[in-house]
Structure 1
Amino acid sequence: MILLPEPVQPLVSIVILAYNHLETTKRCIDSLLLHTPMEGNEFILVNNGSSDGTQAYFDSILGARAVHLLENVGPVNGFNAGMNAAQGKYIALISNDMILTADWLPNLLTCIESDSRIGFVSPGANYVSNYQQINLPFHTLEEMQLQAKAYNHSDPRKWEERIRLMPVILFSQTERLREIGGYDSRFYFGEFGDDDISYRYRRAGYKLIFAGDTFIYHHGSVTTGIDQRQHNSLQVSRQIFHDKYGIDSWTEGLPNMQLVEELKARWSPKASVSLLAINCCIGATPLAFKTFLEQQGASEVRLTSLSNQEKYMVDLRTVSERSFYYETVADLKWLLAGEQFDYILFEHGYSEFERSGVSLANYLLPSGHLVTN
């Protein structure tokens, strides 16, 4: 009897998605092969119905597995095809307009393996929204690689929990991505598909971590601009998201960084910190301040969230130690039961609250701070 060796599961399935733009794709693949060990990992190249030479180019890359789609099914469905083909413990979803840099993979592995509750992590880039931009000084791609090599050192102090992430790279356990169902195919154009998948990871009980210790180069969206002009894709996708969640991810899901900076200005070192957040939508602003406190060495930050809108409660529970819905200002008396806090953040509706005659000073510790919008 001949015993064949057991197949070894790849550690990471690295999925590159391309739709035309062959020269951009080649730069992406070249950087991938230069900065990523092939041994122990698998490369899956998804050709999203390209009409240039992408198919032949993908077939020419030895050791990689090419998936050729007959037509362009949009980025989210293209990535789902890569997910379906993946066999690795982890998966990295990467668009062809990215250029990989030194140590990108070990850094993301170190981050995601630091906490079993992490759903997915994503690095920063030169061109990205959602406060994930990292500015490095360079004029050429060669200089960029040198700067990235000097910058990309694993540093937990640069990891930040987020409400939502724009996946420069979506790096996750493969089964965890499948567990939440991959990308929602309704977000055909790609826009707001990242918001949607962020919400679904959090609502499934997982954390989202911005790996600010890792820089990736991003050319900028090479295909979405066309869809925005021809199909009004940005507003179409924004409406799909709102119809699904009843939330506008831009106006209700982004942190108010002005308030965060005001809180930072009043910060003083303390190991244990209590933070009360009132009417902060889904919690992006208090989470940003909580992350800052943890980065400054606070070993325990207890976030209590209050909201007078029930639609926010499911998301507030994903980032708060406690979260309460209140109907009237009088409810605060029994909900908080005389508790006092180091910081109180009141983001929306403070002027109306003031007219109620209830003083939040009663809920502040003697050295506490109140910040309002």
Structure 2
Amino acid sequence: MQWYEGIMETAQTAVDYVGSVLDAGTFTDEARQVLSDFGAVMDSIADYLSREEGTLVEKCRRYALNAAHSADKTLAAHTPEEARQLFSYEVRPLVLDLRYQLDLEYNILRHPEREEEHLAETLAAFEAARKRPRRTDFKYRVSIIVPAYNKVEFSRCAIESLFRHTDFSRGDIELITINDGSSDETEAYFNSLPHTKKINLKHNVYNHLGWGIARHIAEGEYVVYFSNDAVATEHWLENLLAVHAAEQDVFWVVPTCNEECISNAQGIAVDYANTFEDMEKMQAFAARNNVSNPLLWEERAILMPFVSVVPNLFNVPEIRADYRYVMCDFEDDDFSAMLRRSGFRQILAKDTFVHHFGGATLNEVRTKRGNYKSIVSMRPVFRAKWQVDPWESRGHLTFLENFLKEQDIRDSHVHVLMIEPMFGEGLLAVRNYFRKLRQSVVIDAVVSDARYLSDVRSMADNIIHMDTLDHLTEEIHELYDIIIIAAPLNNLPITHILPFFHSCHEHLRPNGFVYALMRNYNSFEHTMESLPSQVPYLVYNTVMPLDGRRIYPVTRLIAALQERFTETAVQIGYIIEKHAFSDAESFAQSIYTVLRIPEASRDYLCQLLSGDVVLFCIRKV
């Protein structure tokens, strides 16, 4: 037995007793004494944890301090009803979450040999929750959760927009606010609002995906996480709920927003400024956009849920964010992985626009936690858990839609082969594209890396697992309109690259094309990454190769492909990724000088030096 288990068992008994007394409408002296003793125990737990080390220790310490503080507030309440609310919305949820986190810290995270089994059990719980009949005994149709950590001006804008564009009049929508240890006027502002369920914490704990504490008090059939730097718009809620009503196996539905304030290609171009002063212009833009249209519902492999609508499955303990992401980043990547691998679908509703100011709360937490080091710290957590990288595995395919538009496939039935789709972002992009055109598409997937089989299990129509891609012809017997190699060629188990392209080309229908990409390790960015620098390796780790990647001679490969398939059939593009280094122009000039490059050849070399990824499109003409 761990040191805390008996203590938390007793604390839970105390909480159950005090809760029963307060629910009866009284607050007896005996219940007061029990709650006072409970507060002292929480302080003792916090004191013990201050001398411990571990992933969740500091978070648990803050939970214990918050529980003690909320117990004191409950004791100081002016009426039994006020005491009951403070106890129900703060003390009890804090204790339940603290107990869960202590179990995770001491029984799982400190025993690496148990983590694989724990992950399997969690995935099984997600899948069981997806398959079971949905509860119908909810008090409300929707619970809206708004968490905040400082930035009260954003919270005020968010809440006012919710009251303006959400119909609370029917009494079937509840609002829950969480002040996560703010030091500004957030608590006073939330307390001035007319809703009942208010959580005010003294110590910031970072409330994971908005559900960590509120999961214990949300009583809606659907639960909305609404970031305090988002702004509600006309028809936002009914449009998002329409997705759940029409589609099966959906977990979260996320609206689109202004593209400069979100990554992952979730945003759209807007015609107003990202300022408080331009919010009326924003509302006019949203009113034109927010017309429910199922053709604009995109299934995604990963979503960043700045606003999300999810079914209330919180009575399943495992349906929660992974608390080991203690510094914000990669938590949504992790939850998306859990959803993909348990068969849940994730929908980006581009028929619903909600403004996003862009990371006001998370940036506040990131700054407090140590000057934006959370990316460096949290990326390895994902890798250790899933054994793949969260960024390199997405399978996003740049410019693919441009090639699809050029293809103009008029056949109502489209057949696509996707080779190594990884997380499946590109695979779903193809499915979304043809869905929007009302064309049916069959997608076969070839997977050589078994770590990704679970990701595409519910995305592809047929899956072929191959240890090597050298024998592709022996495994596929169809002709395809499109063949897409979603992973960089550098990473794939291919012994002979030209015969591989020939095999793909032979399996194309007339006018079909092969799409492929590879990392260009000759580019300026990748060259600089390979030199000693101040850029953290844990963030930029695409440099050569600790895990079997290979460098292809780009110029020779292009020439060989053009010779085999003709220059007309082979299109080449260069993709410039977000750079961590500057002064590429001086670097290029130095190369010209050292190699004595003639003026006529400099444009091509400039493309080669600036292109971090080389894109190939080989058409069957």
C-alpha separation in 2, matches of 1:165 and 1:301 = 23
Aligned ranges 1:327-366 → 2 under 5 Å: 327-329=467-469, 331-336=471-476, 338-347=477-486, 348-349=488-489, 352-356=495-499, 359-366=503-510
TM-score by length of 2: 0.56
Map of 2:154 onto structure 1? 24
Q: Which residue of 2 aligns with 1:4?
A: none
From the two aligned structures, give the one with the greater strand fraction.
Answer: 1
Contact 2:250 2:344 in 1 (8 A): yes
2:434 to 293, 304, 313: 293
Alignment partners' CA distance in 2, 1:368 and 1:169 = 39
- The answer to whether the 8 Å contact 1:192/1:241 transfers is yes
| Contact 1:264–1:289 (Cα < 8 Å) also in 2 | no
Q: Does 1:261 align with 2:402?
A: yes
Deviations 1:68-117 (A, max 9, x none): 23321114175321222211110110111111111100010111211122
SS of structure 1 residue aligned to 2:390:
coil
* Residues 77, 295 of structure 1: alpha-carbon distance in 2 compared, 3 angstrom cutoff: closer
Describe the SS at the equivalent of 2:323: coil
Instruction: Quote the offset at 1:331 in angstroms.
Output: 4.3
Partner of 1:98: 230
Structure 1 residues 129 and 177: alpha-carbon distance in aligned structure 2, compared to 1, 3 A threshold: farther
The CA deviation at 1:367 is 4.4
CA distance in 2, matches of 1:277, 1:73: 42
Higher helix share: 2
> More displaced, 322-331 or 35-44?
322-331
Gaps of 5+ in 2: 1-136, 518-621
1:131-179 deviation per Cα after TM superposition (whole angstroms, max 9, x unaligned): 1112221241111112212211111121111110111212110117957
TM-superposed deviation, 1:55 = 2.1
The aligned runs of 1:10-89 (5 Å cut-off) are 10-38=140-168, 39-76=171-208, 78-89=210-221
* Alpha-carbon distance, 1:361 to partner: 3.0
Q: What percent of counterpart residues are identical?
A: 29
- Superposition pairs of residues 240-259 of structure 1, within 5 angstroms: 240-259=381-400
SS at 2:286 equivalent: helix
Segments of 5+ residues of structure 1 without an aligned counterpart are: 1-6
* The 10-residue stretch of structure 1 (342-351 or 38-47) with the greater mean CA deviation from structure 2: 342-351
Distance 2:456 2:375 in 1: 26
1:219-261: CA deviation from partner (whole Å, max 9, x where unpaired): 1112433525525012212221111112222222141222343
Q: Is the 8 A contact 1:180 1:204 kept in 2?
A: no
Distance 1:260 1:280, change over 3 A: farther
CA distance in 1: counterparts of 2:354 and 2:316, whole angstroms:
25
More deviation, 237-246/251-260: 251-260
| Residues 1:133 and 2:267 aligned together | yes
Shift of the 146–328 alpha-carbon distance from structure 1 to 2, 3 Å rule, reads closer
DSSP-derived class of the 1:119 partner: strand
Q: Secondary structure at the match of 2:354?
A: strand
The answer on whether the counterparts of 1:11 and 1:89 sit within 8 Å (CA) in structure 2 is: yes
Q: Distance in 2 between matches of 1:247 and 1:202?
A: 14
For residues 257 and 135 of structure 1, the distance between their equivalents in structure 2, rounded to whole angstroms, comes to 18
> Matched residues in 2 for 1:263 and 1:97: separation?
36
> Take 1:264 and 1:209, find their aligned partners in 2: how far apart are those partners?
23
Per the TM alignment, residue 60 of structure 1 is displaced from its structure 2 partner at its CA by 2.3
Which residue identity is paired with 2:217?
Answer: A
Report if aligned partners of 1:99, 1:216 keep a CA contact under 8 Å in 2. yes
Please say if residues 122 and 165 of structure 1, whose CA atoms lie closer than 8 Å, have aligned partners that are also in contact.
yes
SS at match of 2:190: helix
Matched letter for residue 130 of structure 1: N
Contact persistence 1:242–1:248 (CA under 8 A): yes
- Letter of the 2:507 counterpart: Y
Q: Does 304-313 or 170-179 show the bigger shift?
A: 170-179
For residues 161 and 60 of structure 1, the distance between their equivalents in structure 2, rounded to whole angstroms, comes to 39
SS at match of 1:92: strand
The equivalent of 1:202 in structure 2 is: 340
More displaced, 210-219 or 316-325? Answer: 316-325
Greater RCO (CA < 8 Å, at least 6 residues apart): 1
- Residue identity opposite 2:197 in structure 1: R
RMSD between superposed Cα atoms in Å: 2.2
In the alignment, the residues of structure 1 paired with residue 279 and residue 297 of structure 2 have an alpha-carbon distance, to the nearest angstrom, of 26
Q: Is the 8 A contact 1:293 1:301 kept in 2?
A: yes
Cα–Cα, structure 1 residues 190 and 269, in superposed 2: closer, same or farther, change >3 Å? farther
CA distance in 1, matches of 2:179, 2:263: 26
Shift of 1:289: 1.6
| Alignment TM-score, normalising by the size of structure 1 | 0.91
The CA deviation string for residues 193-237 of structure 1, in whole angstroms up to 9 with x for no partner, is 111111111211111110011111111112433525525012212
Contact 1:75 1:188 (C-alpha < 8 Å) held by counterparts: no
Quick check: 53-62 or 361-370, which moved more?
Answer: 361-370
Q: Secondary structure at the match of 1:359?
A: helix
Distance change (3 Å), C-alpha of 1:62 and 1:353? farther
Helix, strand or coil: the match of 1:113?
A: helix
**CA distance in structure 1 between the partners assigned to 2:385 and 2:481 by the alignment:** 36
Contact preservation (8 Å) 1:9, 1:87? yes
Does the 8 A contact of 1:125 with 1:168 survive in 2? no
The aligned residue for residue 118 of structure 2 is none
- The amino acid across from 2:481 in the alignment is D
Q: Which moved more, 1:143-152 or 1:252-261?
A: 252-261
**What are the equivalent positions in structure 2 for 1:134-283 lying under 5 Å apart?**
134-139=268-273, 140-175=278-313, 178=316, 181-226=319-364, 227=366, 230=371, 232-283=373-424
Please tell me whether residue 368 in structure 1 is matched to residue 509 in structure 2.
Answer: no
**SS of residue matched to 2:371:** helix
Displacement of 1:181 in angstroms is 1.8
Contact 1:13–1:43, Cα closer than 8 Å, also in 2? yes
Q: Report deviation, 1:23.
A: 1.7
Contact 2:146–2:210 (Cα < 8 Å) also in 1: no
Q: Which has the larger radius of gyration?
A: 2
Give the letter for the 1:232 counterpart. Answer: K
The 3-state SS of whatever aligns with 1:304 is strand
